[in-house]
């Protein structure tokens, strides 16, 4: 039995060796792989896009170079028409400009007319004008509108008309924001109007129709109001407003007093009024009694009775002069005193005596007339008594 088992084992070994010889030497039988160490799971294939060739780093976004001081906006917004509606180009402004200038001119009327012609020549127009006074005291004012781009040239021409520019001022008001706000409100209101019109078409009940009609009317009123304001801004921003005040260059002096009839010793206040010329002015007063003054508003007291002539001479900064004289302008009567009171009483008594004498003389002269009248009256009384008897 043992021999049989050993024989079987040898056969098996022989067969095994032959089969092994025929088969390509197999890789050594995999050793019972130790629990296959999990092959490192291929790192989750996160496809990292090939690092873009170091993209030339966009040159560091150029730091906004300190913005050069923003170029000043055009002084006037350009008005653009789009389907009949006005709009302002982005970046442009709507500026309302006004100017005030006070001029001393050789001829007020001539200067007024020349300014009116200038306004028309610059494609503008005259808004209003007036003139008052006469000759040297004449003053005037004229207001004009000119295209905004001709605002400065117009002021320059006004300066050239003057003998002297007394004052000048200009003012600018940016109304761009207000105009844009109004445009937005207008769009909203027009959209609301359209919705009301659609509701009107769908409304069936009279009450609904009336309610929609009421709101529609209110909306349309608001639309018209906004359009009116926008049109005003458009016109005033495109046409600048200038007012010129005109004054005659010719010097004219005038004198006056707070009272003309006074008593001896009573104080009088005088005043000199000047028109035209060039300030500052100097004054020379002559009160007619030997006293003088260089004040603009002097006071004076007359110490003697009589009529006095007063004169005023004015000289301006350029040496121009003008003199006004008023003959027997101040009348001075005696003041209070015992002698003057007694003299007045005596004069009154004499006057009364003169009156009595005049009455007596008249009575004597007319005595025949009185006698005739008395005789007729007596006869009439006698006849009347006789009839009664």
pLDDT in tens, 277-336: 777 899 999 999 989 999 999 999 998 888 999 999 999 888 888 899 999 899 998 876
Determine, yes or no, domain membership for 358: no
Q: Tell me the pairing of strands 261-263 and 321-333.
A: parallel
CATH number at residue 89: 3.30.70
- Counting every residue written for the chain, the total comes to 389
pLDDT at 115 > cutoff 90? yes
> What does each C-alpha distance from 312 to 112, 289, 297 come to in angstroms?
31, 14, 11
* pLDDT at 76 (0 to 100): 41
Last residue of a domain, one of 333, 349, 381: 333
Q: How many domains does the chain have?
A: 3
Shared domain for 292 and 223, answered yes or no, is: no
63-101 core/surface letters (b: 16 or more CB in 10 A; e: else): eeeeeeeeeeeebbbeeeeeeeebebeeebbbbbbbbeb
Q: Euclidean distance between the first and final Cα of the chain, in Å?
A: 232
Last residue of a domain, one of 238, 263, 285: 238
Shared domain for 163 and 96, answered yes or no, is: yes
* pLDDT at 10 (0 to 100): 61
Last residue of a domain, one of 303, 333, 363: 333
pLDDT in tens, 334-375: 876 665 667 667 778 888 888 888 888 888 887 788 788 888
Residues 316 and 279: their CA atoms lie apart, in Å, by 6
Determine, yes or no, domain membership for 313: yes
Shared domain for 149 and 115, answered yes or no, is: yes
Q: What is the mean pLDDT of the chain?
A: 76
Shared domain for 277 and 324, answered yes or no, is: yes
pLDDT in tens, 69-96: 333 333 344 444 343 334 444 346 788 8
**pLDDT category, 180, cuts 50, 70, 90?**
confident
Shared domain for 169 and 184, answered yes or no, is: no
Determine, yes or no, domain membership for 160: yes
Determine, yes or no, domain membership for 368: no
Shared domain for 218 and 299, answered yes or no, is: no
| Inter-residue long-range contacts of 178-184, CB under 8 Å, 24+ positions, other chains counted | 178/233, 179/77, 179/88, 179/94, 179/230, 179/233, 179/234, 180/88, 182/226, 182/229, 182/230, 182/233, 183/87, 183/230
Cβ atoms of 254 and 314 within 8 Å: the answer is no
* pLDDT at 253 (0 to 100): 86
Determine, yes or no, domain membership for 41: no
Count other Cβ atoms within 10 Å, centred on residue 246: 25
**pLDDT category, 136, cuts 50, 70, 90?**
low
pLDDT in tens, 28-85: 444 444 434 334 334 333 333 343 444 444 443 333 333 333 333 333 444 443 433 3
Shared domain for 270 and 311, answered yes or no, is: yes
pLDDT at 118 > cutoff 80? yes
CATH number at residue 301: 2.60.40.10
DSSP secondary structure string for all residues of 125-194: EEEEEEEES-GGG-EEEEEEEEEGGGHHHHHHHHHHH-SEEEEEEEEEEE-HHHHHHHHHHHHHHHHHHH
Shared domain for 95 and 170, answered yes or no, is: yes
Q: Tell me the pairing of strands 282-286 and 95-105.
A: unpaired
* pLDDT at 135 (0 to 100): 64
Shared domain for 195 and 263, answered yes or no, is: no
Shared domain for 170 and 184, answered yes or no, is: no
Determine, yes or no, domain membership for 312: yes
Shared domain for 148 and 190, answered yes or no, is: no
* pLDDT at 378 (0 to 100): 81
Shared domain for 132 and 162, answered yes or no, is: yes
Which of these, 300, 320, 331, 310, lies nearest to 256 by C-alpha position? 310
**pLDDT category, 25, cuts 50, 70, 90?**
very low
Determine, yes or no, domain membership for 110: yes
Determine, yes or no, domain membership for 318: yes
Which of these, 101, 116, 133, 99, lies nearest to 246 by C-alpha position? 101
Exposed / middle / buried, residue 177 (Cβ in 10 Å: 0-12, 13-18, 19+):
exposed
pLDDT in tens, 208-257: 888 888 888 898 899 999 998 888 888 777 788 999 999 888 888 889 99
pLDDT at 156 > cutoff 60? yes
Residue 186 phi/psi, 5-degree rounding, is -65, -45
Residues 342 and 304: their CA atoms lie apart, in Å, by 20
User: Which range of residues forms the domain containing residue 289?
Assistant: 252-333
Hey, what are 338's tokens? 């015992």
Which has more pLDDT, 5 or 215?
215
* pLDDT at 8 (0 to 100): 58
pLDDT at 262 > cutoff 80? yes
Token look-up 């801004």 returns: 233
């Amino acid at each position: 039995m043992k021999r049989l088992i050993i024989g079987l084992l040898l056969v098996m070994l022989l067969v095994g060796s032959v089969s092994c010889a025929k088969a390509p030497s197999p890789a050594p039988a995999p050793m019972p792989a130790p629990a296959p160490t999990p092959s490192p799971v291929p790192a989750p294939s996160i496809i990292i896009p090939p690092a873009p060739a170091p993209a030339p780093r966009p040159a560091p976004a150029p730091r906004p170079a300190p913005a050069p001081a923003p170029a000043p906006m055009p002084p006037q917004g350009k008005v653009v028409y789009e389907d009949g509606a006005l709009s302002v180009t982005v970046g442009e402004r709507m500026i309302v400009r006004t100017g005030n200038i006070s001029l001393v001119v050789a001829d007020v009327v001539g200067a007024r007319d020349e300014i009116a012609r200038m306004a028309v020549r610059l494609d503008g127009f005259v808004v209003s004008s007036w003139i008052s006074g006469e000759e040297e005291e004449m003053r005037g004012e004229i207001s004009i509108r000119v295209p905004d781009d001709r605002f400065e040239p117009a002021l320059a021409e006004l300066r050239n008309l003057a003998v002297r520019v007394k004052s000048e001022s200009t003012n600018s008001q940016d109304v761009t924001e207000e105009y844009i706000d109004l445009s937005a409100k207008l769009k909203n209101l027009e959209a609301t109007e359209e919705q009301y019109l659609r509701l009107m078409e769908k409304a069936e009940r009279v009450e609904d129709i009336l309610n929609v009609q009421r709101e529609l009317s209110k909306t349309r009123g608001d639309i018209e109001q906004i359009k009116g304001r926008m049109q005003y801004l458009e016109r005033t921003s495109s046409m600048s407003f200038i007012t010129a005040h005109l004054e005659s260059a010719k010097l004219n002096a005038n004198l006056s007093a707070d009272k003309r009839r006074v008593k001896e010793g009573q104080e009088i206040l005088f005043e000199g009024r000047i028109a035209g010329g060039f300030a500052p002015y100097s004054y020379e007063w002559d009160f007619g009694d030997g006293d003088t003054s260089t004040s603009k508003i002097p006071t004076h007291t007359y110490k003697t009775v009589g009529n006095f002539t007063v004169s005023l001479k004015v000289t301006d900064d350029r040496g121009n002069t003008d003199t006004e004289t008023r003959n027997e302008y101040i009348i001075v009567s005696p003041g209070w005193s015992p002698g003057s009171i007694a003299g007045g009483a005596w004069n009154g008594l004499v006057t009364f005596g003169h009156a009595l004498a005049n009455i007596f003389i008249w009575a004597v002269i007319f005595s025949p007339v009185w006698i005739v009248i008395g005789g007729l009256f007596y006869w009439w009384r006698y006849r009347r008594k006789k009839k009664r008897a």
